[in-house]
Structure 1
Amino acid sequence: MLFIGIQTDSLSLYARQPKKRSYLALGNRIELYYLVSQLIQLRLSYRQIQQAVLQRKHAWLSKSTISYWARRIHNPLGKVSQFQSGPSPELAYVIGVVLGDGNLNIHGYNAELILAVTDYDFAKEFSASLATILVQPKPYKVRWHPRKNRWVVQGSSILLYNFLSRDWRNLKKWIEHCSRCRAAFLRAFYDAEGSISGRKLSLHNTKKALLLYIQDLLNQHRVETSRLYLHRSKGTALLDPKSGKVYFRRKDGFSFIVRTKSLPQFAKEIGFSIERKQKRLAEAARGVMERTLISNEAIPHSDSRGL
């Protein structure tokens, strides 16, 4: 499960000169920071900068904040992790994981990203991708959580939180940047939401529009799929095998499968990061190719000499 939240820094920033402290959003602080930098170039006093910011942006900055910004002691980001927001396979992979049902929860105290999964290799792949886009020297630690019975990866970034909080349709630029980004996004989504049994490769999610979009992306990789169908209806019961509790689904669940003949193409272009799923996929794809080869050899070839 992926938890994301926000924590503001401790700069003295006020929407107006108030009696009680109130913080501005990160985007507003960055905007004010650049405005203050411009005003400093005009050799204005801190008092004059205060008044100019209040007049233009209706926000009140303390003189200490202006002083810290002017001397580059602090900036609006504080200790916020860097975030490489340019399109990349690593960012596309993180987007795919987050868009998987049940992986994103928002908490208002910290900008923490926590992935808790049963497969170590899934956690490891997410850790490496997250470290790359947050400009960390090495992957985040993958640790075992006995109580959750899950492998856990934890990172932190307010900037990434803001980026991931937008509607998924506004992330298409990063998903569709190139074939490698598309494949990384699809692989992540299948790692999170896909399942394979025999030659049946299925994908499940409650967001119908998102699944239709994924079908279109698969088609760009020459992977054919079935029609989208209702897999689980809202209100149906779900038994938790560990706790024995019965839950009721709050949303309809939709699914589609990859056509059997497209399994080799899916394995070649996309695949899984999870070894156990990848192994099943490879076996299924190999079976399809062998069956196709046998079928082709069984087709009689016409003898042109008799024409």
Structure 2
Amino acid sequence: MKSLKELNIWELHKVMQRAKELRDQGISYSQIASIIGEEFNVKVSRPTIMRWCKGLHNPFNKIKEISLEPSPSLAYVIGVFLGDGSTTKLKNGRYIIKLKAIDREFVERFKNALECLDIKTTFGLEHDSTRVDRWYAEGSNKMLFQFLKGPRDQLFNVAWEYPREFLQGLFDSEGFPVISAKNHFRVQVALANSDLELLNFTERVLLEKFGISTRLVQTHKKGSPIVIRGMEYKYNVDMYVLWIYRLSHVRKFAEEIGFTSRRKQEKLEDALHLSEIPVAEALKLWHQKYVNGPRGYIKRAPKQP
């Protein structure tokens, strides 16, 4: 039998409402505790039932209630949570929702989305000698925390109502433009993730909501090696990439969804512009502006006067 601490907010609310309904029927506190145990498989003491029914104690007084009705901001937060976002329950009772990323615009948008949900946030730049500096934004709210950690269907329902914002949150996290510029010039958009359920849902959203077709490819098997900052590790999951590969669909993605990150969006728009001209000229102009690095093409630094 579960304890009250193991219930999420919605489960606790149902238990409290049921206890009050039974009390209104004239049932004793001891009997109510027994009935609650049978119906919800949760242990509640007689004194707790009594305090609830008499209005002497309400656990929700300590919880800041926010609206979790489908909205653009909630859909964006869900997309980020399913991508680069993280959740942590601290010992001091705080329920943290957090994002760290190198692109300030991305993190600021996540911060603004949390604030639209009436969640106070902190925002700043984290310095780390072992890696590139990253921006961060975080907020604390038990309702949102438990919602994000709850059934996947409730997240997908919000995403389906606000597909653009959901996809923006997800692609801002784990999506990127891929440019091939050696013997030919090709522009694609990719999304890397290990969650097949999420990727299959994303495929469906892109196709049914935007008419964008994709191809899902497994890139790494669990246990295969990977080198990160000079250290070799092994994948602990299978990895996949969802490709938007048709040029017209890549253009539709850029126009109707796009990236919040200026770095990613400008790269995608530059490549799409060059895709309209002859290949030889496109290659020349691309390499004048971009240089190939370990993680793809990056914009060349401006020449000093």
TM-score under structure 2 normalisation? 0.73
The residue number in structure 1 matching 2:34 is 55
Residue 190 in structure 1 maps to residue 177 in structure 2: no
1:24 and 1:66 mapped to 2: Cα distance?
20
Residue 131 in structure 1 maps to residue 115 in structure 2: yes
Shift, 1:69, TM fit? 6.2
Gaps of 5+ in 2: 38-42, 180-186, 279-305
Contact 1:122 1:273 in 2 (8 A): yes
1:140 to 111, 121, 129: 121
Query: Mean alpha-carbon deviation: is it higher for 266-275 or for 73-82?
Result: 73-82
Report the secondary structure of 2:237's partner residue.
coil
The residue number in structure 1 matching 2:284 is none
Instruction: Judging by fraction of residues, say which structure has more strand.
Output: 2
The residue number in structure 2 matching 1:269 is 256
Shift, 1:166, TM fit? 3.1
Residue 25 in structure 1 maps to residue 7 in structure 2: yes
The residue number in structure 2 matching 1:83 is 66
Change beyond 3 A, Cα 1:146–1:66: farther
Report the secondary structure of 2:61's partner residue.
coil
Report the secondary structure of 2:212's partner residue.
coil
* 1:197-240 deviations in Å (ceiling 9; x for gaps): 33232111112332232122112302233x21122232222222
Gaps of 5+ in 1: 1-13, 16-21, 292-307
Report the secondary structure of 1:228's partner residue.
strand
* 1:98-137 deviations in Å (ceiling 9; x for gaps): 112x64455474421121111111111111112223x24x
State how 1:28-177 maps to structure 2 within 5 Å: 28-38=11-21, 49-58=28-37, 59-61=43-45, 63=47, 66-67=50-51, 70-71=54-55, 74-100=57-83, 103-104=85-86, 107=89, 109=91, 110-133=94-117, 135-136=118-119, 140-147=121-128, 149-177=133-161
1:28 and 1:266 mapped to 2: Cα distance?
39
* 1:230-259 deviations in Å (ceiling 9; x for gaps): 222322222221xx3221111121113222
* 1:122-172 deviations in Å (ceiling 9; x for gaps): 111111112223x24xx6231112237321211122222222123434432
TM-score under structure 1 normalisation? 0.73
Shift, 1:277, TM fit? 0.8
The residue number in structure 1 matching 2:203 is 215
Report the secondary structure of 1:57's partner residue.
helix
Report the secondary structure of 1:77's partner residue.
helix
Change beyond 3 A, Cα 1:38–1:216: closer
Give the structure with higher Rg (CA). Answer: 1
Aligned residues: 257
Report the secondary structure of 1:176's partner residue.
helix
* 1:269-292 deviations in Å (ceiling 9; x for gaps): 10111111111122223334567x
Letter of the 1:217 partner, please give it: V
2:232 to 229, 246, 264: 246
Give me the CA root mean square deviation: 2.8
Tell me which stretches of 4 or more aligned residues in structure 1 moved more than 4 Å. Answer: 39-42, 105-108
2:47 and 2:98 mapped to 1: Cα distance?
37
Structure showing greater relative contact order (alpha-carbon pairs closer than 8 Å, 6 or more residues apart):
1
1:187 and 1:41 mapped to 2: Cα distance?
48
